[in-house]
Amino acid sequence: MEKIVNLLKKQITSTIIAILCGFIVVAILLTLTGYSPFEAFGILFNGIFSKPKYISQVIIKATPIILTGISVAFAFKVGLFNIGAEGQYIMGTIAATVAGILFDFPPVLQIPVVVLSGVCAGGIYGAIVGFLKAKYGIHEVITSIMLNWIAFYLGNFVVNTQRFHQPDSTGTYIINESGFTMFLYGWKRSEEGKAFLMEHPVLLDVILKTDVNFGIVFAIIVAVAVAILLKKTTKGYELRSVGFNKDAAEFAGIDVKKNILHAMLIAGAVAGLAGALTITGMSPHKISTMGTFENYGFNGMSVALIAGSSPIGCIFAGLLFAGLLYGGGSLQSAIGAPSEIINIMIGTIVFFVALTKIVPVLADKLVKRGEKHAR
């Protein structure tokens, strides 16, 4: 009995229940609309796991949303709702593209310059939100929503400036190759590399046909670093106290305003890093005119929620999210089921994540009732 209760109290259990519920709801919906759920899920899993190339694609697609997820999760821990990860991400892509085109240093210097430009742009953008909240008390949700749109139009503006716009396209020029962060980029295109890969079809599939890049390594490092910052440092303690109870934190001598500013700066920087790594690590290595938001930041919110705001959890939630999106892409062509079913599934999972917060409470009640009977 105690074992079950303890198991139920673990957050991972709630999350798994939520994911299962998502699958069940979607299965029901598919059945009602005349599709076979088993067939659909089969295609979904094939689309993720059947080839090494697919797995590699999922990891690549997961990288930016893991990072935006960490950004949102981190802000949550400080009691802030970073709906602006989208805008910070866009600022990251803009700054990285601009730096990547303007400069052409050797890779050792170029990569840090390009990536740091993105990080700084995102960080400053986040800090604006933090500043306005700390100084004028303006709700972070309003400023973030406004700044998202400003970043959106700024991106479209940069695309259309003469210096950056590539003629006869909807985008900018591609950044200089010295800024690429793909794994073995030079080698895989050399004669020797090609010859080697020809003999190893699995590697060929993964390395040559997808943009395998160092982004995921960055994402994991950031996840661990943020987790350590929050749990093991004085700064993290301050940040979490501000998130837990602002007034108590103030009373204990913690500078609430400064911590809000710092928190948004860091959250923005992480989202900016996501944008920068997308530019350096993935084709097309440039920004294009946007018609609507590309949702990297908004998807980050779902990732953070599925992960229960744990930075490490964001890695797995991001992989799950990317897997569903990527694997679900083939549903439409394979059985004609609208691929939006995946969005419904992700929505349902998030919905049940909200609901399953009740599981640990129920588990507690179970114990208490047990105690009563024992007496």
Partner 1 sequence: MLDNLFLLIGITLMYSTPLIFGGLGGMVSERSGVVNIGIEGMMTVGAATGVSVAYFTGNPWFGFLCAGLAGGLIALLHAIASITFKADQTISGIAINLMGSGISLFMCRLLFDGATHTPAVERKIPKLFGDTRITGVAKNLNVDLTVIFALVLAVVLWFVFYKTKWGLRIRAVGEHPAAADTLGINVALTRYVCVVISGVLAGFGGASVTLAIISQFSPTAISGQGFIALAAVIFGKWTPHGVYGACLLFGFAQALTIILGGGNFAVPSQILSMLPYVLTIIILILFVGRSVAPKASGVAYEKGAR
Give the ranges where the chain is alpha helix by DSSP (H): 2-9, 11-32, 37-49, 52-77, 85-102, 107-136, 140-159, 185-189, 191-199, 201-203, 209, 215-232, 234-244, 246-251, 256-281, 296-306, 311-328, 331-335, 341-355, 358-374
Considering only residues 204-243, where is the footprint of partner 1 by CB under 8 A? none
Instruction: Give the bridge partners for 165, in sequence order.
Output: 172
Considering only residues 52-111, where is the footprint of partner 1 by CB under 8 A? 81, 83
**What are the structure tokens assigned to 146, written together?**
């406004």
353 touches partner 1 by CB under 8 A: yes
* 38, 49, 157, 244: which one binds partner 1 (CB under 8 A): 157
Q: Are 287 and 279 in contact (CB under 8 A)?
A: yes
**Residue placing its CB nearer to partner 1 in the complex, 83 or 319:** 83
DSSP string, 283-319: TT-S-B--SS---HHHHHHHHHHHTTT-HHHHHHHHH
Q: Are 325 and 342 in contact (CB under 8 A)?
A: yes
Query: Total binding residues for partner 1 by CB under 8 A?
Result: 46
* 153, 190, 283, 368: which one binds partner 1 (CB under 8 A): 153
Instruction: Give the bridge partners for 171, in sequence order.
Output: 288
**What are the structure tokens assigned to 182, written together?**
């793909």
Q: Nearest distance from residue 137's CB to partner 1, in Å?
A: 3
- Backbone φ and ψ for 210, nearest 5 degrees, come out as -125, 160
340 touches partner 1 by CB under 8 A: yes
357 touches partner 1 by CB under 8 A: yes
* 338, 365, 369, 370: which one binds partner 1 (CB under 8 A): 338
244 touches partner 1 by CB under 8 A: no
**Residue placing its CB nearer to partner 1 in the complex, 75 or 207:** 75
* 6, 42, 139, 200: which one binds partner 1 (CB under 8 A): 139
* 208, 288, 351, 360: which one binds partner 1 (CB under 8 A): 351
324 touches partner 1 by CB under 8 A: no
| Dihedral of alpha carbons 71, 76, 78, 84, sign | positive
Which region, judged by CB under 8 A, interacts with partner 1, from 177-185, 209-217, 244-252, 331-339? Answer: 331-339
137 touches partner 1 by CB under 8 A: yes
* 176, 259, 302, 310: which one binds partner 1 (CB under 8 A): 302
**What are the structure tokens assigned to 113, written together?**
């310059």
299 vs 287: CA distance, rounded Å: 19
Q: Nearest distance from residue 56's CB to partner 1, in Å?
A: 26
180 vs 68: CA distance, rounded Å: 21
Q: Which residues bind to partner 1, rule: CB under 8 A?
A: 33, 81, 83, 132, 136-139, 141-143, 145-147, 149-150, 153-154, 156-157, 160, 291-293, 301-302, 305, 332, 336, 338, 340-348, 350-351, 353-355, 357-358
